[in-house]
Amino acid sequence: MNRREALKLMARLGMGGFLLGTPFRLLAGGVEEQPLERVYWAMGTTVRFQVYHEDRREALEAVRRASDVIQAVHNRMSLQQADSLLSRWNRSPLAGEVVLDELTAGAVEAALGFRTLSGGRYDPTVGAAVSALQQGRSVPPQGERAVYWRRPGAVLEKSHPLVQLDLGGSAKGWAVDRAVEILQRHGVRAGLVNAGGDLRVFGCPPGSQGWPIGIRRPDQPDRLLTVLSLTEAAVATSSDMAEDGLSLLVDPRQLQPVHLQGSVSVVAPTCAEADAWSTALCVEPDLSLLPGSLSGLIAIQSDEQSLKIQSNLTEKKYQEANT
C-alpha cells in the first residue's frame, strides 16, 4: 500500500486505538448483560461510549451528561469556532486578558503543565504557527511565546499579540477524562470513552479481565500493530500523516512541520497525559522521554513495505507501573 492509499484509508478508519470484539456479553443467571452504547459527533470526530450499569436509566443519564461535557469542551476551546472562548483570546491584543470558566481553565492549566513536563516538545502556544502552516502562509516571527496564568481568578494573558493557544494536542484527551469522571460519579462500574481513537477505559466488562484495544498501523490502517488488554488506563495516538500530505503537527522548538512519517501511541493513567505525550514524541520520537508510569509505541515508515518500531508497550510493565 502506497502512502496516498494509506492516508485515505486512515481518514476513513481513524488513526488511534479502538475496541475489539464488541459488544461484550455475559450470561449470568440466564440474563444476557450488554453494555449501553451511544455514539456522538463532537470535537471533529466520533465519540463512542460503552458503559455497564445496573440501571439502564441511570446509564443513559450518565452518558448524556458525559457527552455534554465533551461538547462543552469543544464549544469553548475549538479553534474552528470563531466565537469560542479560546478563539476570542487568540484574537485579543497584547493588553488583553480573559477570565476563564473552570472547565476551560482546567484544560489550559493542564496543557501548560504538559509543556513544562515535556521540556517544550508539547507546547500549546504554537497556535499562530499551526494556523499559518494550515493556510499555506509563512510562520510569523514570535520571539518568546509567553503566557501568563494567574490564580485565583483563572486570568490568562499573553506576552505579545501574536501568541495564540492551540489545545489540539491535549484537549480531546482532557475532555475524555472529564467524561469518565462523570460516568464514575453516576455509578457506572465499567466503561469506555473513545474520542476518535483517544480513549480511556475503567473497570472490566463482565466476564473479562480487561478491554481489548487494538493499535492500527500508520501505513496500513486496516491492519494492527498490537492488541492490548487494559483496565484503568488510557491510550492516545498522534501522527504527522494527513490525507493531503501536509503535516498536522508543528515542532514547537523550530515552528516547522513535524516529519515523522509514522505514528506514536502512548498508554497512560489519564487520556490527557496520553494525548499530550503522544504529540510530544512525534516531535522527538524517543520513548526514554516518557515518565515512568507511561509506556508507548513508535512506528515510523522506513519504506512503502515496512515500519521501524520502538515499543515498551508490554502489558506487564504497564500494570506494574500502576500498582
- Residue 101's domain comprises 76-158
Beta strands across the sheet bearing 198-202: 36-42, 45-52, 190-195, 198-202, 233-239, 262-268, 295-301, 307-311
What percent of the chain is predicted at pLDDT more than 70?
82
* Chain position carrying cell 493557544: 165
* pTM given for the model: 0.84
Whether residue 284 sits in one domain with residue 201: yes
Whether residue 104 sits in one domain with residue 68: no
Whether residue 63 sits in one domain with residue 194: yes
Q: Where are the beta strands (DSSP E) in the chain?
A: 18-19, 26-28, 31-33, 36-42, 45-52, 97-99, 147-150, 155-158, 190-195, 198-202, 211-216, 224-230, 233-239, 250-251, 256-257, 262-268, 295-301, 307-311
Whether residue 138 sits in one domain with residue 117: yes
In a domain, 163, yes or no: no
| Residues 256, 129: Cα–Cα separation, whole Å | 8
In a domain, 219, yes or no: yes
In a domain, 34, yes or no: yes
pLDDT digits (tens, 9 = 90+) for 67-102: 999 999 999 998 888 888 888 888 887 656 778 888
**Taking residues 180-203, what's their average pLDDT?**
96
Which ranges constitute the DSSP H helices of 25-170? 56-77, 85-91, 102-117, 127-134
**Taking residues 206-225, what's their average pLDDT?**
89
Whether residue 264 sits in one domain with residue 203: yes
263, 268, 270, 272 alpha-carbon torsion, rounded to 10°: -30
pLDDT digits (tens, 9 = 90+) for 129-178: 888 887 778 887 777 777 777 777 778 888 777 888 899 889 999 999 99
Q: Where does the pLDDT of residue 15 fall: very low under 50, low under 70, confident under 90, or very high at 90 and above? A: low
Whether residue 315 sits in one domain with residue 217: yes
Whether residue 111 sits in one domain with residue 62: no
Whether residue 185 sits in one domain with residue 55: yes
CATH number of the domain that residue 194 is part of: 3.10.520.10
CATH number of the domain that residue 138 is part of: 1.10.3980.10
Whether residue 208 sits in one domain with residue 59: yes
Q: Where does the pLDDT of residue 211 fall: very low under 50, low under 70, confident under 90, or very high at 90 and above? A: very high
Domain count, the chain: 2
Whether residue 146 sits in one domain with residue 11: no
